[in-house]
Amino acid sequence: MKDSLNIAIAGATGYVGIELIKILLKHPKAKILYLCASKSIGKKIFDFDKSLSKKKLPTITNIKYVQWEKIDILFTALPNGEAQKIANILPNRIKLIDLSADFRIENYKLYKKWYGADHKSKKLINKSLYAISEFSRNYLRKYNIISCPGCYPTSIQLPLIPLIKKKMIDLNSIIIDSKSGYSGAGRNIKKRFNTKYIHNSISAYGVGGHRHTAEIEQEFSKVSKRKIKITFTPHIIPTFRGILSTIYINTKGASSAFKIYKFLKKYHKKNFFVKIAKFNTPIGTGDVMNTNYCNISVCENRSEKKIIIISALDNLIKGASGQAVQNMNIACKLRENMGLV
């Protein structure tokens, strides 16, 4: 293992890119050599976040000027479609850790259906790994293209994947209501949500067809070995960061809310960044803000066979940059929580 990992970040000026920089500055094995963007070339990163004004960081440059022989890890926090192009020219020894949707969907035809564009590196899809850290520890070291899940899917899969594997829930009636801070829409939020009340109102969007549905159903179907369809509705709420997913499920067989609580508590005991709240405890995003933790609570419903699972995380960290660094740590044989606590 090298004394340090030389890192380039593409998409450094976005909200996720800024969070990546902040985490990597605390990481004892990380050395940031390049900060890349398509605009603002020649500017300093503190123009986008004043808290970085006293940090020694490279000037923003175009990715075409990166000297790849100096780089070990490339993080891409770019619009969908861009990491695919970079992957085609990247030297094989460099680990690409992508935070877009470019390598999340295993079927390139489904990618086109959900994202409206042809995949530009189809041959590399099978060489990539969709990696929620807690479920991918045993595989991460084998891959040089690591695809980080979306923020909503992370909050949803951490509680539900173990239950699907254990066959404790009904797969035909999964309903998910998720709410996210507006940072999840990026810096161009006013273009995406054409309303002057975006900062003091709640808006549902992607109703019946949000893009993250594709990767959630893909992973659920892989685990259950059958096709699963879910009902998923996301909302933007008037807070900057944080995700709260409220998941409604029916239990199966002898399962009950308390049994599911006990099972998840035992299952995630080894997972440093997943915390199971006391049974029947309402939770929110306040305890996970600016952390890489996901908090999960299992609650009873009035109907004995129906339960409510609540999952909270920071969309910019556990839902993006923090999970990316967690994946890097595992892939590079470092302590999993290095730089994250």
Quick one: which of 307, 311, 284, 287 has its CA closest to 297? 311
Quick one: which of 141, 88, 148, 160 has its CA closest to 119? 88
Residue 193: pLDDT over 60: no
In angstroms, the CA 132 to CA 124 distance is: 19
In angstroms, the CA 199 to CA 217 distance is: 31
Its sign, for the CA torsion 235, 228, 158, 331, is negative
pTM of the model: 0.94
Residue 283: pLDDT over 90: yes
The pLDDT-based confidence of 332 (bands split at 50, 70, 90) is: very high
Residue 192: pLDDT over 90: no
In angstroms, the CA 310 to CA 131 distance is: 22
Give strand ranges (E) for 42-124: 60-61, 73-76, 95-98
Quick one: which of 318, 183, 179, 320 has its CA closest to 247? 179
The pLDDT-based confidence of 196 (bands split at 50, 70, 90) is: low
* pLDDT at 69 (0 to 100): 97
The architecture in CATH of the region 5-149+319-331 reads 3-Layer(aba) Sandwich (3.40)
**Cα angle value 176/181/187 (rounded, 5°):** 125
Residue 302 backbone dihedrals phi, psi, to 5 degrees:
-65, -35
Give how far Cα 257 sits from Cα of 170, 305, 331, Å. 13, 8, 35
Quick one: which of 215, 186, 181 has its CA closest to 78? 186
Average pLDDT over residues 271-280: 98
* pLDDT at 287 (0 to 100): 96
In angstroms, the CA 331 to CA 141 distance is: 4
In tens, the pLDDT along 76-99 reads 999 999 999 999 999 999 999 999
Give Dmax over CA atoms of the chain in angstroms: 62
Q: Which two tokens stand for residue 128?
A: 């990539």
Residue 187: pLDDT over 90: no
In angstroms, the CA 46 to CA 59 distance is: 10
Is 151 labeled as catalytic in the residue annotation? yes
**3-state class (DSSP) for residue 91:** coil
In tens, the pLDDT along 134-150 reads 999 999 999 999 999 99
CATH class of 152-315: alpha beta
Look at 190 and 302; give whichever has higher pLDDT. 302
* pLDDT at 184 (0 to 100): 81
When the pLDDT of each residue in the chain is averaged and rounded to a whole number, the result is: 95
Average pLDDT over residues 228-247: 96
Per DSSP, 251 falls in state: B
CA atoms within 13 A on the CB side of 100: 22
Count, residues in the chain: 341
Among residues 36, 151, 294, 332, the one annotated as catalytic is: 151
61 strand-pairing partners: 36
* pLDDT at 200 (0 to 100): 81
The pLDDT-based confidence of 201 (bands split at 50, 70, 90) is: confident
Average pLDDT over residues 283-290: 97
The pLDDT-based confidence of 303 (bands split at 50, 70, 90) is: confident
Q: Where are the domains of the chain?
A: 5-149+319-331, 152-315
* pLDDT at 289 (0 to 100): 97
